A and B are shown apart, each in its own frame.
Chain A
């Protein structure tokens, strides 16, 4: 139980994110049936069955994933609540969020059951009603529902935001599958144009909801950069902007395809694949936001613009030598940190935590110096990887061995991330896994080694299978997603926010690099060519960001 409580905060964020992805796919696929498959059925003479089955299939998968994620989340919350309140689980089970969760699960199960066989009008109508029930149940546990006083407008804004996401992003897998089923140019054009219309409607609903949520939950400009809630909202906005550009590209391609101007549906499908990667990242970020207090409630201890600028200004030169306590900079920094700690202790601001978390210990100048040293070395390696990959793209053949540079990074991370653990410190290898931060670092080491093995094999021609080549973009995107699903200080500990800001940039660049590499492998012609320049550039930027990283 203690271990469960220890990791409760992060588990909640991850489950929220997965639940949002699953639920959006489930009701987005149902909306795909309602707004596309059924109305277009008379036009889609040859592929009508397959298009409807695509919508039904993803509705079922989304429903199953929703059931698993929601039940996991409810069980986790009930257990932790029961344990921390010393209250029987059955008594905890009467909580409103559990009742709402059970309604969501029942609606999802019903979707899985109903989305089978012939997609008749009555069946799709029932599915639509069930999707709305699921959506309303999720709304019941939103920030808007918990607001004191008047909350109708915030509920409407949240409803619009979630509905728009379902209409545009949730239907993408079904759309992708349907494009592959089109039996003629007319059918492909009809599917593409109809989905474009759904997407535009979805974007309008998302933006309207975002405006309402920004006004109600973020407030002024400082809320965007001075709080974790605002910073995550901006990150979502940036990724939404990228998605809009991709969507616009698709819209134009479909128009030219419909007009017989030489475009192919395959190009649209590649763009949709990339859109799905960004959609997942956005929904995971949204899941992370739902576990934070709104920016408008955090009026103290916000980061100022000057503090943000100071933190984003690179350390010159980067720390590439082992920090020494004898260095004059360390005692000076420690003095500054001690003053910050004393000020924080003297503050009358009440702190708040999730079970399992607590007040952060005072910061230590040596730790910060080591952390910056680690980040800067990692940055140097990633920068070199990006530059070598650019050289390879430019035609320099020997540069194709760039994946091996990642082994240096993996070894460095393994030895340096947690110096108190084996092999550098006293804590044993297996004992060290009790510390979640160590687990995080070790997982990244495994991911990096896996990536190196696959990508080097692909680059040197040892492995010809395209699926193996796709491991790199998948892992890079998952890495970016993991950075988006981290948790945050609830009372907006300013220092944590300032550290988090650089991680948000890294997350977006990670997802962009993965998506671009995917496009390079799966796409063709002009798209593959420019994608081949984009992802190494993302790596160069990640390297530079890491080299500029600072914690004080």
Chain B
């Protein structure tokens, strides 16, 4: 068995310690620096309703299909009316790992948005709105 022992002494590295601290100071400041927009991972490939679609008053099935596998237990769908009131959405079984399906009863005609938030399997959280209109069927 080849055995390697630790060295008896180490060279001094003071200048590098100083520079390391300078770099660390820069790195510590970095989290404070936030540019304008944001990023993440899961994006919408297809949905029902699509952007600016029309749905009928009453019961509807909502579907949002993403580009990556999502953690459905930690994702949600919400419908928000023009007056900011929330209409409850009940999540139901999805056909695959990339789709969120929900049941909703839309009470009135008017403008709404479907707000989605998903956690992708890789750990990225994304959210967005899909605006749509509700009319009498």
Contact = CB atoms under 8 A, between A and B. Distances in A.
A376 interface: no
B3 A120 contact: yes
Interface string B39-78: 1111111010011100000000000000111010110100
Contacts of A121: 1-2
Contact of A42 (B2, B34, B68, B76): B2
A491 B40 CA distance: 9
Interface residues of B, number: 60
A350 B40 contact: no
Contacts of B15: 465-467, 470
Contact of B122 (A142, A181, A357, A439): A142
A97 B68 CA distance: 14
A95 B6 contact: no
Interface string A63-92: 000000000000001001100110100011
A467 B19 contact: yes
Query: What is the interface residue range for chain A against chain B?
Result: 35 or more
Contacts of B31: 7, 10-11, 14-15
Given A9-B38, A81-B125, A466-B15, A485 B44 contact: no
A485 B35 CA distance: 10
Interface in A332-375: 347-357, 360
B3 A487 contact: no
B82 interface: no
A467 B6 contact: no
Contacts of A8: 38
Interface string A468-492: 0011001100100110011111110
Given A141-B122, A351-B128, A488 B34 contact: no
A194 to B, nearest CB: 15
A455 interface: no
B6 A53 contact: yes
A538 interface: no
A204 B19 CA distance: 33
A172 to B, nearest CB: 14
Given A38-B2, A470-B15, A10 B34 contact: yes
Contact of B123 (A49, A141, A148, A490): A141
B11 interface: yes
Interface string B3-43: 11111000100110011001100110111111111111111
Contacts of B45: 297
B94 to A, nearest CB: 12
A128 interface: no
Contacts of A13: 39
Nearest to A18: B27
Given A439-B32, A447-B26, A357 B71 contact: no
A41 B4 contact: yes
Nearest to A496: B37
B3 A354 contact: no
Given A85-B117, A293-B67, A490 B38 contact: yes
A243 interface: no
A77 B67 contact: no
Nearest to A294: B67
B34 A439 contact: yes
B130 interface: yes
B96 interface: yes
A10 B35 contact: yes
Count chain A CB atoms within 10 A of each CB in B14, B39, B67, B121 and give the residue with the most: B39
Contacts of B6: 49, 52-53, 56, 117-118
Interface in A351-403: 351-357, 360
Interface in A212-235: 228
Count chain A CB atoms within 10 A of each CB in B2, B6, B30, B127 and give the residue with the most: B30
A146 B128 contact: no
Given A96-B71, A354-B126, A53 B37 contact: no
B120 interface: yes
A141 B71 CA distance: 12
A446 B101 CA distance: 50
B4 A440 contact: no
A24 interface: no
Nearest to B46: A350
Contacts of B35: 10, 436-437, 440, 486-487
Given A7-B32, A293-B67, A350-B128, A478 B23 contact: yes
Interface string A46-58: 0011111100100
B34 A440 contact: yes
Contacts of B125: 77, 80-81, 84, 354-355
A11 to B, nearest CB: 5
Given A7-B34, A487-B35, A490-B39, A352 B98 contact: no
Interface of B: 1-7, 11, 14-15, 18-19, 22-23, 26-27, 29-45, 47, 50-52, 67-69, 71, 73-74, 76, 96-98, 117, 119-130
The 6 closest A-B pairs by CB, nearest first: A436-B34, A97-B123, A357-B38, A9-B38, A478-B26, A467-B15
27 contacts: A7-B31, A9-B37, A10-B31, A10-B33, A18-B27, A41-B4, A52-B4, A53-B4, A84-B125, A85-B74, A96-B71, A143-B41, A146-B68, A147-B69, A148-B96, A181-B7, A228-B39, A350-B51, A351-B128, A354-B39, A436-B35, A437-B36, A470-B19, A474-B22, A475-B22, A478-B26, A489-B38
